[in-house]
């Protein structure tokens, strides 16, 4: 039973675990039957005097061993038969014959290729053919991830993840977190280093990490990564650490003191920019005197130079977008004046004729300043700037921009779920809600008044009053003779009214 327990712990699909469990169960059954037969024959041998019975257990055991081997070898090859019998699909085959999984490229295919890169359930990179070539690779209906993909949805920029729709609430919540938001979260930067780097890059990346904290993660172990050749490791780190910005430092004889700025979208590399640090002019934060930067400051970013907005110089336009995205910090509605003490400026000079002839590009100069306010005798304080470092000059290297369709998808905003405004409702200074009601013309004849029990007439009064309505009117007359007495008298008379 121990092999079956180990099989259940494997990180494989449910179908694979069932097949492996069946193999171990069948071989175990054959072994148990063989042992029982051996025990029965051993007892029969003890009860007889014939010595030839002693050779029977050896023959049975020699027959049981090849039987177990045949069963173990035949069960995996019967997958198509099992798939037809169960009418269910299994995992996707490895379409690269004779090629290990690690050698399959993890970058997008070329535009003219007839395959699309996918990520299977086993988290291994596979190649799924286009619609017209599915039957060529999938001759047996055993594999589930080989899907019919329409031609307009295939290409070298599409990353299709294998598997079906989420089946539980937890999977739905995870997918909902990855959907575009109206207000995106603050981007986290991941600092990586190559196996070969320099002490200068180590110190400068530490200073850049200080400017980016707390939205930053730093790795100190070296990684053998080539961002422009294979970005699979970068995409893996981006997904595991939920970081859409990466800074990779490397050093070589061909490209010394190199910082590669990487931006991701959907855990896939969107664009890359390579900047080479000029060693002679680089200075660390520790080399500047005075107060250093503090946590919680909102940086102000300045770009000086005409190259930043020149569409013909794509590397500088990309550098402006990437540097602003890297250092801008969290988006807030209001900022305290005391928090505006950090200024990061980037300057690019004009390209001279000498640079055009030599083919060199203008350098990008990065300076970090701290704003110091002093008394001026008026309400407006005197503002001075003080350089606090780091000071870095970059030479522009290689770059790779995103395609138009991918960039359009990355800039897409979620639909706004704005609440409908409530009309005729206002809130005064005290916080009381005031409402305005518009009424039409009212008919007072239909106004329902409140009926009180004290005003209602009884049945007897209604009968007496009913026979008096004959054109007569009640009048009161006073008898003169009775007025002299103490009691006096009053007579009620009915007089006909003309």
pLDDT score at 469: 52
Q: Which residue has the tokens 């990487």?
A: 262
Name the least confident of 49-53, 204-208, 226-230, 409-413.
49-53
Q: What is the pLDDT of residues 267-321, one digit of tens each?
A: 889 999 999 999 999 999 999 988 888 888 889 999 999 999 998 999 999 999 9
Nearest-angstrom CA–CA distance, 442 and 444: 6
What CA–CA distance (Å, rounded) separates 382 from 373?
Answer: 6
**Higher per-residue pLDDT: 233 or 457:** 233
Q: Which of 481, 278, 442 is nearest to 363 (CA)?
A: 278
pLDDT of res. 324: 95
Beta strands in 362-486 (DSSP E): 364-374, 382-387, 392-400, 425-427, 433-435, 472-478
Going from N- to C-terminal start, the domains of the chain cover 2-77, 101-166, 189-410, 457-496
Q: Are the beta carbons of 92 and 126 closer than 8 angstroms?
A: yes
Q: What is the pLDDT of residues 350-371, one digit of tens each?
A: 887 666 677 788 999 999 999 9
**C-alpha distances out from residue 16 to 7, 119, 196, Å:** 9, 18, 41
- 250 forms beta bridges with 258
Q: pLDDT-based confidence at 345, cuts 50/70/90?
A: very high
pLDDT digits (tens, 9 = 90+) for 423-437: 888 888 888 998 888
Helix (H) or strand (E) holding 342: strand 342-348
First-to-last C-alpha distance (Å) of the chain: 123
CA atoms within 13 A on the CB side of 240: 8
Q: Which of 1-5, 120-124, 167-171, 441-445 has the lowest mean pLDDT?
A: 120-124
415 is written with which tokens? 């639909």
Contact 225, 192 (CB under 8 A): yes
- Give the pTM: 0.53
pLDDT band at 422 (very low <50, low <70, confident <90, very high): confident
The band of 69, judged by pLDDT with boundaries at 50, 70 and 90, is low
Cβ(233)–Cβ(221) below 8 Å: no
Give the Cα separation of 246 and 260 in Å (integer): 8
Identify which has the larger pLDDT, 406 or 189: 189
Radius of gyration of the chain (CA): 45
CA distance 298 to 208: 15
Residue 264 is predicted with a pLDDT of: 93
Whether 326 has a pLDDT exceeding 70, the answer reads yes
Flag whether pLDDT at 455 surpasses 70.
Answer: no
HSE-CB at 159 with a 13 A cutoff on CA atoms is 14
Q: How does pLDDT run across 216-248, given as a tens digit for each residue?
A: 999 999 999 999 999 999 999 998 998 999 999
Give the total residue count for the chain.
498
Give, in order, the Cα–Cα distances in Å from 110 to each of 113, 129, 241, 428.
5, 14, 29, 63
pLDDT at residue number 58: 66
CB burial of residue 370 (10 Å; 0-12, 13-18, 19+) = buried
Query: Which whole number is the average pLDDT over 463-485?
Result: 52
| Measured distance CA(331)–CA(264) in Å, rounded | 19
pLDDT in tens, 110-169: 444 444 443 333 333 334 444 444 444 444 444 444 444 444 333 333 333 444 678 899
Question: How far, in Å, are 266, 320, 335 from residue 330 at the CA level?
Answer: 20, 18, 11
Where is pLDDT greater, at 258 or 64?
Answer: 258
Buried b (16+ CB within 10 A) or exposed e, 479-498: eeeeeeeeeeeeeeeeeeee
Tell me the C-alpha distance between 487 and 463, whole Å. Answer: 32
b/e map 311-320, b = 16+ CB within 10 Å: eebebbbbbb
CB 274 within 8 A of CB 398: yes
- What is the chain's mean pLDDT, rounded? 74
**CA dist list (Å): 216 to 52, 186, 245, 260:** 80, 10, 9, 16
Structure-token pair, residue 413: 């905003």
Of the candidates 11, 13, 171, the residue with the CA atom closest to the CA atom of residue 92: 13
170's tokens: 């937890």
């Amino acid at each position: 039973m121990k092999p079956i327990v180990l099989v259940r712990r494997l990180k494989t699909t449910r179908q694979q675990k069932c097949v492996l469990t069946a193999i171990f169960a069948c071989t175990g059954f054959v072994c148990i039957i063989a042992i029982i037969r051996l025990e029965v024959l051993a007892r029969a041998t003890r009860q007889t005097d014939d010595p030839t019975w002693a050779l029977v257990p050896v023959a049975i055991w020699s027959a049981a061993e090849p039987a177990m081997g045949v069963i173990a070898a035949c069960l995996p090859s019967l997958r198509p038969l099992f798939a037809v019998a169960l009418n269910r699909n299994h995992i996707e085959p490895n379409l690269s014959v004779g090629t290990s999984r690690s050698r399959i490229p993890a970058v997008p295919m070329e535009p003219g290729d007839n395959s699309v890169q996918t990520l299977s359930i086993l988290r291994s990179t596979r190649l799924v053919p286009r619609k017209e070539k599915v039957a060529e690779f999938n001759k047996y209906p055993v594999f589930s991830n080989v899907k019919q993909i329409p031609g307009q949805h295939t290409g070298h920029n599409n990353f299709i993840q294998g598997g079906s729709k989420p089946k539980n609430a937890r999977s739905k919540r995870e997918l909902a977190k990855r959907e575009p938001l109206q207000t995106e979260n603050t981007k986290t930067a991941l600092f990586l280093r190559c196996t070969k780097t320099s002490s200068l890059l180590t110190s400068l990346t530490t200073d850049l990490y200080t400017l980016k904290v707390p939205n930053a993660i730093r790795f100190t172990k070296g990684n053998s990564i080539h961002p422009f050749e294979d970005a699979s490791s970068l995409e893996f780190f981006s997904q595991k650490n939920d970081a859409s910005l990466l800074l990779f430092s490397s050093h070589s004889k061909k490209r010394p003191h190199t910082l590669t700025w990487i931006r991701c979208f959907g855990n896939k590399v969107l664009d890359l920019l390579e900047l080479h640090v000029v060693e002679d002019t680089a200075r660390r934060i520790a080399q500047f005197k005075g107060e250093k930067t503090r946590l919680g400051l909102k940086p102000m970013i300045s770009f000086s130079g005409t190259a930043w907005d020149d569409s013909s110089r794509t590397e500088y336009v990309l550098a402006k977008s990437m540097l602003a995205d890297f250092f801008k910090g969290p988006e807030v509605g209001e900022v305290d004046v005391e928090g505006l003490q950090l200024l990061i400026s980037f300057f690019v000079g004009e390209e001279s004729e000498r640079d055009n002839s030599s083919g060199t590009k203008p350098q990008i100069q990065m300076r970090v300043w701290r704003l110091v306010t002093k008394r001026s005798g008026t309400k407006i304080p005197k503002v001075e700037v003080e350089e606090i470092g780091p000071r870095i000059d970059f030479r522009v290297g290689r770059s790779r921009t995103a395609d138009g369709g991918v960039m359009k998808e990355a800039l897409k905003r979620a639909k706004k779920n704005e609440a409908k405004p409530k009309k005729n409702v206002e809130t005064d200074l005290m916080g009381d809600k005031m409402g305005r009601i518009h009424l039409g013309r009212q008919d007072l004849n239909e106004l329902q008044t409140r009926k009180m029990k004290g005003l209602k007439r009884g049945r007897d009064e209604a009968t007496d009053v009913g026979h008096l309505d004959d054109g007569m009117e009640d009048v009161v007359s006073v008898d003169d003779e009775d007025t002299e007495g103490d009691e006096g008298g009053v007579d009620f008379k009915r007089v006909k009214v003309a």
